Amino acid sequence: MTIVRSPLLEMVDLSVQIPTRRGTVQAVNGVTFSVRAGEAVGVVGESGSGKSMLALSIMQLIPRPGRVVSGRISLSGRDLLQLTESAMRQVRGSEVGMIFQDPSTSLNPVLRIGRQVAETIEAHHPEADSWQRSLDMLRSVRIPDPEQRLRDYPHQYSGGMRQRAMIAIGMANRPKLLIADEPTTALDVTVQAQIMDLLRSMNADTGTAILLISHNIALVSRFCSRVLVMYAGRIVEEGPTFEIFNRPKHPYTRALLTALPRIDRKLPEGLTAIAGRPPDLAQLSAGCAFFDRCPDRMETCRTDQPPAFSVGPRRSARCWLAAKEDPS
């Protein structure tokens, strides 16, 4: 008998708009997905896909003048969008942690690292021995010589160590969900491998679900069990990682995979580029956003935005070509 767990995080029909001089930018456009407890889910996409805005919307950190215009974000059944800012502050750093691409801008340069980890603990657990917990956290993120390094300032840490410190801060209060937005993009590949290994153990040891946002498809394929592919503010394909990257159903996913240079083989025919550019998010048509660049486009794609069709268990593709596979 299978037990269906209710999801830890559930996003339903979320839309985020940013008013600009050129018009209203639809940064996130009707996004629906869920993350189960302990799951590692990846969000892949290129610039303008909306993946970072998605992450910020969960944390209610969308920079003004952007704002959520519709939808629901439930964490353990509670709609985050309905919370007051002070209630949301309770959620941030304790139930949901977040780590960003550039730790140099997230760490306070004039506070010792130990203090910054302790601060996040004290904000939610004023009774705790925060200094000891801080030390434990630095140890758990494998910072060598933690008793000494606690007293260092961020500039005394290398890039990889700063990211570890960010993970320590993000995980200090044992959140149920850790959002990692391009956590290794600014790091060397060997350091990236160390950080991903650390995140993998944290996911396994603490049961914290991880939402990994990245443009690095190979990285996501190695780390996440499920993946969402985003394009122009929408999820165009979603499902188990192996399925998505080995049998993609959306033309964008397919195009992305053939444009990807591979380290494990040389493609004698070269890379197949995707012609053209992503659409202007302030001037989206009523049809499919990928229409101009899609090798498989049909007339109906020009005028009608396809819904997300179900093409398997927990698998969907937002493409008219997938319509015939949908049982409903």
How many Cα neighbours within 13 Å face the side chain of 163? Answer: 23
Residue closer to other proteins by CB (options 36, 200) is 200
Nearest approach, Cβ of 259 to other proteins (angstroms)?
4
Report which DSSP code applies to 280: P
Nearest approach, Cβ of 129 to other proteins (angstroms)?
30
Nearest approach, Cβ of 289 to other proteins (angstroms)?
14
Residue closer to other proteins by CB (options 23, 87) is 23
Report which DSSP code applies to 265: -
Residue closer to other proteins by CB (options 158, 303) is 158
Residue closer to other proteins by CB (options 118, 202) is 202
The CA radius of gyration of the chain, in Å to the nearest whole number, is 21
Residue closer to other proteins by CB (options 267, 323) is 267
B/e letters for 243-254, b = 16+ CB within 10 Å, e = fewer, are: bbbeebbbbbbb
Nearest approach, Cβ of 44 to other proteins (angstroms)?
9
Whether 281 contacts 48, CB under 8 Å = yes
Nearest approach, Cβ of 194 to other proteins (angstroms)?
7
CA 28 to chain centre: 13
Question: Given the rule CB under 8 A, which residues bind other proteins?
Answer: 46-47, 144, 158-161, 188-194, 196-197, 215-219, 221-223, 241-242, 245-246, 255-257, 259-267, 270-275, 277
Nearest of 152, 178, 177 to residue 165 by alpha carbon: 152
Nearest of 24, 25, 20, 14 to residue 232 by alpha carbon: 25
